[in-house]
Amino acid sequence: MRKTTLQKARTFEQRYHPHLSLSEQPRFHVTGGVGWINDPNGFSFYRGEYHLFYQYNPYDTKWGPMHWGHVTTTDFVHWKRLPCALAPDESYDKDGCFSGSALELPDGRQLLMYTGVRNVRRSNGVVDGYQTQCLAVGDGVDYQKFENNPVLDAKDLPEGGSAIDFRDPKIWYEDGKYWAVVGNRSADKSGSILLFESDDAFHWKFSSVLASCHNQFGKMWECPDFFALDGKHVLLVSPQNMTSMGLEFHPGNNTLCIIGRYDREKRHLLRDNTQSIDYGTDFYATQTLQTPDGRRIMIAWMQSWESSGCKVAELPFFGQMTLPRELGIRDGRLIQNPVHELEACRKTKVSYQNVMIVDETNLQGVSGRFLDMTVRVRAGNTNHMYRYFKINVAKDGERVTMIRHKPENNTIRVDRSRSGFPHDIVNVRDFPIAAKDELKLRIIMDRYSLEIFVNDGEQAASFVIYAPITADSISFSADGAAIIDVEKYDIEV
């Protein structure tokens, strides 16, 4: 019999989901519909569909008892809501079903691996959340928790590993075995990524320390993902408590991509290169899947923990996912571009070539808030590069979100101070880009978001915005002359 905690969440969804107002939801970015969401979980291909689960509190627009919400898609653009998949209803996960992942078992069932949290109050009143790794098995809609949960706990940790910071298993199958990477806090008080192995996906043992932070990139490393890509191996993690490092990493929660070589003997990742994954204000907790046609697709929570108390009061939901992105490696760096499936939703092409921009300019037909727009910009004067080039989007008399290129120091600044937030949060982000004669920006906008892809995916930057949907004007300006080409489509789903 289904547990009452899960049934309660499903009944709640049945009451609210049929009445969601489409004019309040993003068109092609996932939300919980109602309630709060954070990390993507269980992003995987199963029985002809892509499944996405997520950290979910159905009852409130703030973080709370963590359930797993559930949606599916066949194209990463149109999403179907499924009933809540997991609820915190066992002694080992009574304080939350935290992040995890999914895969298909040989017998055709879907396996979920997640972190169960159990709070224990110390005599001095401090509460410790003990974290263990747990399993659930199902048919793509209904899941049964495994009778021998948890399958990994404190006794499986290497010397000095914390039983309180031990979470977010990402599972995969390779070379006849199941593998999982899990985030852990090690004796030096910073993150390490532990590798575990299993012959049958139900009995697990410690394998190796795949990578360690050594207090270099923040503290605890959350939400690891590890995979081969374009001849290299990639580890994605979300570090907490970073201090800034130039323009590459900002203070607080970040995302880190380590590109390197996998030493299969020692089961250890040798680092070649490290970088930020996304340079915007709102991006955390990545997860990837591999499509049947071999693409590695990444999704993330398009939000920052630091501004997660800052919401627009009247909306019934809080938190959204990024647009899924196709990954690659070019010149030793991570490349990310919107899934190509989005192109099938492009409508009403408007294009311009060789437009000279000096003063603020509007181009007829170039406006809107649900769009996919590519702008190429180069110097308007052969002897002088412009000092600044700006694109203003989501603009009306009061609101504007500004994207500014400054060639002098090869940076892009995005300023969302006037993007409709009723809170004084981090609104300006500068990030470094490669110096080139021509800059190419692809801008994807949905009702509450702006995602920018620079130079065919060399950088990505994600921002939540809350300007009213009527703020849909777009303008271009330059200090010094710039020449632009624009190709703009509306996105209709």
**Which string of DSSP letters, residue by residue, matches 438-458?**
EEEEEEEEETTEEEEEETTTT
How far apart are CB 254 and ligand FRU at their closest, in Å?
12
Residue 455: Cβ-neighbour burial (10 angstroms; 0-12, 13-18, 19+): middle
Residue at shortest CB range from ligand FRU: 98
Q: Indicate the pairing of strand 400-406 with strand 411-418.
A: antiparallel
Q: How many CA atoms lie within 13 A of 409 on its CB side?
A: 9
Residue ranges that bind ligand FRU, judged by CB under 6 A: 38-39, 55, 66, 98-99, 115, 167-168, 222-223, 284-285
Backbone angles phi, psi at 341, to 5 degrees: -60, -25
Gap between the Cα atoms of 207 and 253, Å rounded:
28
Backbone angles phi, psi at 350, to 5 degrees: -125, 125
Gap between the Cα atoms of 208 and 184, Å rounded:
12
- Closer residue to ligand FRU (CB): 156 or 222: 222
DSSP three-state, residue 409: helix
- Closer residue to ligand FRU (CB): 42 or 368: 42
Residue 139 known to be catalytic:
no
DSSP 8-state symbol, 328: E
How far apart are CB 429 and ligand FRU at their closest, in Å?
20
Gap between the Cα atoms of 68 and 178, Å rounded:
23
How far apart are CB 56 and ligand FRU at their closest, in Å?
9
Dihedral angle of Cα 400, 39, 291, 200, to the nearest 10 degrees: 170
Question: Using an 8 Å Cβ cutoff, are 225 and 181 in contact?
Answer: yes
Gap between the Cα atoms of 145 and 461, Å rounded:
38
Q: How many CA atoms lie within 13 A of 218 on its CB side?
A: 22
Question: Using an 8 Å Cβ cutoff, are 196 and 152 in contact?
Answer: yes
- Closer residue to ligand FRU (CB): 55 or 459: 55
Alpha helix positions (H), 333-445? none
How far apart are CB 149 and ligand FRU at their closest, in Å?
16
Q: One-letter amino acid identity for 429?
A: R
In the chain, what is the greatest distance between 2 CA atoms, to the nearest angstrom?
75
- Closer residue to ligand FRU (CB): 98 or 196: 98
How far apart are CB 57 and ligand FRU at their closest, in Å?
9
Backbone angles phi, psi at 201, to 5 degrees: 75, 0
Q: Indicate the pairing of strand 35-46 with strand 49-57.
A: antiparallel
- Closer residue to ligand FRU (CB): 128 or 199: 128
DSSP three-state, residue 142: coil
How far apart are CB 426 and ligand FRU at their closest, in Å?
17
Structure tokens at 261: 């070589």
- Closer residue to ligand FRU (CB): 34 or 379: 34
- Closer residue to ligand FRU (CB): 241 or 337: 241
In the block, residue with structure tokens 């005599």: 123
Structure tokens at 400: 């504007």
- Residue from 39, 93, 415, 446 carrying the catalytic annotation: 39
Question: Using an 8 Å Cβ cutoff, are 161 and 141 in contact?
Answer: no
Structure tokens at 192: 């390490």
Instruction: Provide CB contacts within 8 A for 362, sequence distance 6+.
Output: 473, 474, 475
- Closer residue to ligand FRU (CB): 56 or 370: 56
- Closer residue to ligand FRU (CB): 99 or 212: 99
How far apart are CB 55 and ligand FRU at their closest, in Å?
4
Q: Which residues are catalytic?
A: 39
